Amino acid sequence: MESTHTSVEIDGSLGEGGGQMLRSSLSLSNILGIPFSMDRIRARRQKTGLRPQHLTAVEASARLCGGHVEGAEVGASRIHYSPNHLPFGEHSIDIGTAGATSLLLHALYYPMAWSDQGGTLRLAGGTHVDKAPTFDYLNNVWAPMIRVCGMDVSLRLHRHGFYPRGGGLIEAAIPSKQRPQPFRYEQRPDLDRISILALFGQPPEQKRPSSGLAPVAQRMGNAAQELLHQLGFRASFLCSEPDALCVGAVCHVICHFGPLRAGFTAWGWKGRPAEQVGAEAAALAAQFLRSEAVVDEWMADQLLLPLALAQGPSVFLAPQRTGHLLTNADIISSFLPHVSISIEADTRGLQRVEIHP
């Protein structure tokens, strides 16, 4: 990756090599007013090039920002993007598939928050999709964490959308003229509480009267609560059985540490016992709780972009060095070569992440 004064050239096959490179590039390009070209897009993936959900992010960014894009089509391995202005106002965007609305929000949120007017985004697609933050992670972890960084967003879930049918809808109200503040946490605040949210969505016509057995969501929540209790942690849980276009099962465990949050998710599928799903989410949370990490591995890479734009240095402890973390650091350095991002293991095996804007 090599930057110039007029544009940034990005090799999309480097590092983690996924869609995050494109989302971060779009955000930074729009905020900084710097064009970029990306070659060999998603070259490391089984299906290379732009997929429909990535194309939606590029086209939405160009439309909202008055930008110009070349090469934007499904399967494209190279694009060139030139921004024009920051996005603002009210916009509705339909991914058209079960593509993750959370990832589309990540591409559009920071430029809109940076603008003088802010706005509202209504995003249709997948709200609970594997390998992407769910709406519940956005609302219960991501949003509180960026508030600690001096930013804000109000989120609403209008419809649940599970893979593969999608059909969900989220709304994000984004205040204007936001600027991130430094985030300095080398020690995790004390644990306040643990909350469990278990969801089992299905089409209304498939819902059956109670058979006397505990519903799927309740069995997931019970299993998560029981395992955490065995490991010495108290937790409360909430079950939900929303209407959806297709069946979907997911269990979240959210850990509250003063103003900080960490979230852990496990997915169900046909033939997998609900108890196994709940136990997996609880085990992931317990592993984090036994460590001294400050942020979970997903928030670690998501914090880099706003903190690189903050008015001062930041530091935090992440549980591990992931490909997403390293790749996002590389993308940020391409657009902001003066920003220093160091990721170093300490004696406990944690990753000390330090950002100097």
Residue 208's pLDDT is what?
74
pLDDT digits (tens, 9 = 90+) for 235-266: 999 999 999 999 999 999 999 999 999 999 99
Residue 147's pLDDT is what?
98
Beta strands per DSSP E along the chain = 2-3, 8-11, 36-39, 68-70, 78-82, 89-94, 119-125, 154-159, 168-174, 184-185, 193-201, 236-240, 248-257, 260-268, 314-318, 340-345, 351-356
Q: In terms of pTM, does the model score above 0.85?
A: yes
What is the arithmetic mean of pLDDT over 42-55?
86
The answer to whether residue 5 scores a pLDDT higher than 70 is no
Assess contact for 139 and 195: CB atoms under 8 A: no
Fold of 193-290: Dihydrodipicolinate Reductase; domain 2 (3.30.360)
For 1-85, CATH gives 3.30.110
Residue 13's pLDDT is what?
86
CATH number 3.65.10.20 given to 86-179: yes
* C-alpha–C-alpha distance, residues 143 and 254, integer Å: 13
- Percent of the chain's residues with pLDDT above 70: 97
What is the arithmetic mean of pLDDT over 198-218?
83
The answer to whether residue 210 scores a pLDDT higher than 70 is no
What is the arithmetic mean of pLDDT over 166-189?
98
Hey, what are 198's tokens?
């278990």
What is the arithmetic mean of pLDDT over 57-83?
95
Residue 4's pLDDT is what?
43
Residue 36's pLDDT is what?
97
Domain ranges in the chain? 1-85, 86-179, 193-290
Q: Which residues are catalytic?
A: 324
| Topology alike, domains 1-85 and 86-179 | no
**How sure is the predictor about 2, in pLDDT bands with cuts at 50, 70 and 90?**
very low
